[in-house]
Amino acid sequence: MPAAASARAQAFMGAARTTAMAALAVLLVVVGVWTSWADAQHVLFTKGRERGTLTVTRCEDNRCEGRFEPLSPGARARAKVTIEESIGTEKGAKLPVVVKPGSSQVVRGAGAGFFHAWLPLGGALLMAAVVVGGGLRLTRVAWGVACAGTLLLFAAFVLG
């Protein structure tokens, strides 16, 4: 009898571990999508939003600011808009941007902006790959998830 109880306990613990690891991997990906969506929605759905070019004049404290020149009809020029500083942003750079509605904040637009917006998802995929490979012992799936995250980060680096 004790051997059967021990086997059931081990089976239960194995199922609990698998469930916990799967929930953690899903949570990481959901948080990555949620975080990315804050900027990605402005890049993906540009209809009715102000699009234009940002000429960077100053960068400090992880933020850059500059002059906004509109490209979309009905948009107005702005003397000062801000964007979160990213790798490769320097004074004098001209970036395609989209203005967040009701604010003076902008996000990168066009192809580079698309990949830049999804950077948090790329990092979340890399973290989830470790959980899938180590915790769930699904090495092929883990390699696929890791490759997807790496490609997303690489595309953002190359295009951004």
Alpha-carbon span 77 to 74, nearest angstrom:
10
Cα–Cα distance between 157 and 159 in angstroms, integer? 6
Mean pLDDT of 43-65: 91
Specify the amino acid at residue 94.
K
Q: What is the residue extent of each domain of the chain? A: 19-43+118-159, 47-108
Identify the weakest region by mean pLDDT among 17-26, 53-62, 115-124.
Answer: 53-62
Looking at every residue in the chain, the average pLDDT score rounds to 92
Does domain 47-108 match CATH 3.80.10? no
Give the residue from 125, 93, 128 showing the smallest Cα distance to 112.
Answer: 93
Cα–Cα distance measured from residue 160 to residue 156, given in angstroms and rounded to the nearest whole number: 5
pLDDT tens sequence across 62-118? 889 999 999 988 888 999 999 987 666 778 889 999 999 989 999 999 888 999 999
Burial (CB count within 10 angstroms: exposed 0-12, middle 13-18, buried 19+), residue 37: middle
**pLDDT of 110:** 87
- Torsion angle defined by CA atoms of residues 138, 141, 145 and 150, in that order, rounded to the nearest 10 degrees: 90
pTM value?
A: 0.86
Q: Look at 154 and 89; give whichever has higher pLDDT.
A: 154
Sheet arrangement for strand 78-84: 78-84, 63-70, 51-60, 94-99, 106-108
Of the listed ranges 85-89, 91-95, 123-127, 131-135, the least confidently predicted one is 85-89
pLDDT band at 48 (very low <50, low <70, confident <90, very high): confident
Q: What share of the chain is helix, strand, coil (3-state, %, to 5)?
A: 55, 20, 20
